[in-house]
């Protein structure tokens, strides 16, 4: 939240000319996160956060832009050869040798799979 507020002053709480305070940074960021995490629409989020739909949509757009600007250089870049080697070693230690960028592990046996889910994914028992 601090990084987003430092990047975009839209998220900083301000005082209006008539004395009332604007929305909290947490409100704006939580609204954006709820839309992203749950696939919620602005209509669903407006009652929870007590914000207008236009403010929620503006918060979402600015939040996404801020995250992209702040974290692209470090986390959203293409991996280097050293990164790939480190990831391959870590995956191999966890029992997934040669796996980069794939979380499709349906060919593995699900030891603790709930009985209600058995056969649901790829006809595996």
What does the pLDDT average to over 65-77?
A: 89
Measured between alpha carbons, how far is 81 from 91 in angstroms, rounded to an integer? 15
Cβ atoms 29, 67 nearer than 8 A? no
Flag whether pLDDT at 67 surpasses 90.
yes
Give 29 or 111, the one with higher predicted confidence: 29
Whether the full predicted model's pTM is greater than 0.75, yes or no, is no
What is the pLDDT, as a whole number, of residue 65?
94
Flag whether pLDDT at 11 surpasses 80.
yes
What is the pLDDT, as a whole number, of residue 125?
47
């Amino acid at each position: 939240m601090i990084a987003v507020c430092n990047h975009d002053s839209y998220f900083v709480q301000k005082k209006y000319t008539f004395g009332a305070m604007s929305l909290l940074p947490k409100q704006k960021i939580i609204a954006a996160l709820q839309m992203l995490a749950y696939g919620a629409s602005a209509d669903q989020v407006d009652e929870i956060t007590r914000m207008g739909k236009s403010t929620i949509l503006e918060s979402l757009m600015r939040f996404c832009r801020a995250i992209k600007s702040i974290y692209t250089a470090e986390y959203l870049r293409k991996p280097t050869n050293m990164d790939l080697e480190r990831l391959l070693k870590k995956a191999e230690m966890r029992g997934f040798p040669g796996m980069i960028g794939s979380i499709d592990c349906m060919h593995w046996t699900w030891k603790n799979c709930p009985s209600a889910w058995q056969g649901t994914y790829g006809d595996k028992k």
